[in-house]
A and B are shown apart, each in its own frame.
Chain A
Amino acid sequence: GDSVTQMEGPVTLSEEAFLTINCTYTATGYPSLFWYVQYPGEGLQLLLKATKADDKGSNKGFEATYRKETTSFHLEKGSVQVSDSAVYFCALKDPSGGGADGLTFGKGTHLIIQP
């Protein structure tokens, strides 16, 4: 079945540091890929997405490129801020999977940015 693997957290960085959160996936078809962010006490919010190979999703300084050859969708940001502290989820939607419209999530990566 489909699966998403993320690097384990927590990830602790200083403000203005470069961020990479790794994400790899397994899917039976050609999935769409997503990054969601969850701030404390809130639901998930879509951060960015990519729907086909080599697409780059970007939002709020975050970027991720859909790499079909390495089945990866790593999240990057050049200079993080304290306000970026949250839990980040990588997810996929595989139209050929059993739950066609549901999302398959990774376990989440807790990011802590220190001033």
Chain B
Amino acid sequence: DAGVIQSPRHEVTEMGQEVTLRCKPISGHNSLFWYRQTMMRGLELLIYFNNNVPIDDSGMPEDRFSAKMPNASFSTLKIQPSEPRDSAVYFCASSRTSGGSTYEQYFGPGTRLTVT
């Protein structure tokens, strides 16, 4: 299994620029999660999708953040415009949900974003 694939692994950008993070979940998984990890706040859930539909985006910090899942094998997290306080490691995770139960979440390697 390829596991959850994220790209890029590292991104350095200037304040005000648009940033797009990408995620390919494990084939057959129908739930996808975006998390952000910072030293100050730890790991936070930003948004999750089930069957490509956003279910809970209450963790998305501001309107500058948006996420899409156009099909079962691809999701993006976009920040526009980016700010230095967005610097963090962004993780994507996927899992299988069946019969109302969600199974283990598998995490990707993360994208380390630095906004200068």
A residues apposed to B, CB below 8 Å: 36, 41-46, 49, 89, 93, 98-108
Please name 18 pairs of A and B residues whose Cβ atoms are closer than 8 Å in the assembled complex, sorted by A: A43-B107, A43-B108, A44-B91, A44-B93, A46-B106, A98-B56, A99-B45, A99-B48, A101-B31, A101-B55, A102-B48, A103-B43, A104-B45, A105-B42, A105-B44, A107-B42, A108-B42, A108-B43
Size category, B interface: 20 to 34
Please state if A102 and B33 are interface contacts (CB–CB under 8 Å): yes
B contact patch SS: strand
- Chain A's closest residue to B40 (CB) is A107
B12-46 residues at the A interface, CB under 8 angstroms = 31, 33, 35, 42-45
Q: How far does the alpha carbon of A43 sit from the alpha carbon of B25 in the complex, in Å?
A: 14
By a beta-carbon cutoff of 8 Å, the part of chain B in contact with chain A is: 4, 31, 33, 35, 42-45, 48, 50, 55-56, 58-59, 91, 93, 95, 97, 102, 104-110
Residue of A45, A104, A105 with most partner-chain B CB within 10 A: A105
Are B91 and A43 in contact (CB-based, < 8 A)?
A: yes
Residues on B with beta carbons closer than 8 Å to the beta carbon of A43 = 4, 91, 93, 107-110
Q: How far is the CB of A62 from chain B (nearest CB, A)?
A: 16
Question: Taking the nearest CB of chain A, how far is it from the CB of B92, in angstroms?
Answer: 9
